[in-house]
Homo-oligomer: A and B are copies of this chain.
Amino acid sequence: MDLEKKDKKESILLATLELVAEHGFHGAPTAMIAERAGVGIGTIYRYFDDKDMLIYEVHRELELKICEYILSGFQEEYSYRQRFVYFCSVLLQYLIDNPKEFKFMEQFYNSPYGVELRRDRIFSEAPECENSCILKDLFEQGRKHGLIKDVPLLIFFALVFGPIIAAARDHILGFITLDDNLIGSFVEACWDSVKK
């Protein structure tokens, strides 16, 4: 049935996410993915053309999920600063609450997969729904109203995503503990870096 089909596909996607997060791309062979998903090796290739496509689909699903999660809590009545702080706090909290998803994303964006995806998006202006799109909106609004520094979009991204990803990584690796208090002052520091 269609339902079972979906179950198998979902199992494979989940197994891939977990194994890549735990051991990296090269520590997640197809045989291991199949075993964790409870399917045969060949079954993977019924649902995905090859391993690359499988990786891309895991990424796409995660991106949608994170984007949806962040947008679900956005309050329109927030001030600009409040929306910025909300975005950073919620993203950081999501990442440390979902370490496997974070680790997969890290692997992805530090590989040719992620680099090519970014290149396409930057140079083709394709506004595919992704969490960076939310931040892009924040950037454009902030620039329009003169609330943030006069820097290019990607510098703004570097100032926001850079620290957030570094902090999330160190928390997940157990190098530091990010509690609500620390997240608060950390995000405040991020705001200081971009505000005019």
By a beta-carbon cutoff of 8 Å, the part of chain A in contact with chain B is 24, 26, 106-107, 110-112, 115, 118-119, 122, 149-152, 154-155, 157-159, 161-167, 170, 173, 175-176, 182, 185-186, 189-190, 192-195
Contacts and interface: CB of A to CB of B under 8 A. Distances in A.
User: How many copies of this kind of chain does the complex include?
Assistant: 2
Contacts of A26: 26
Contacts of A163: 158-159, 162-163, 193
Given A122-B175, A154-B176, A159 B194 contact: no
Nearest to A152: B176
Contacts of A189: 149, 151, 155, 159, 193-194
Contacts of A182: 151-152, 155
A116 to B, nearest CB: 10
Given A110-B110, A149-B185, A185-B149, A170 B158 contact: yes
Nearest to A110: B110
A155 B192 contact: no
A164 B149 CA distance: 17
Question: Which of A158, A159, A165, A190 neighbours the largest number of chain B CB atoms within 10 Å of its CB?
Answer: A158
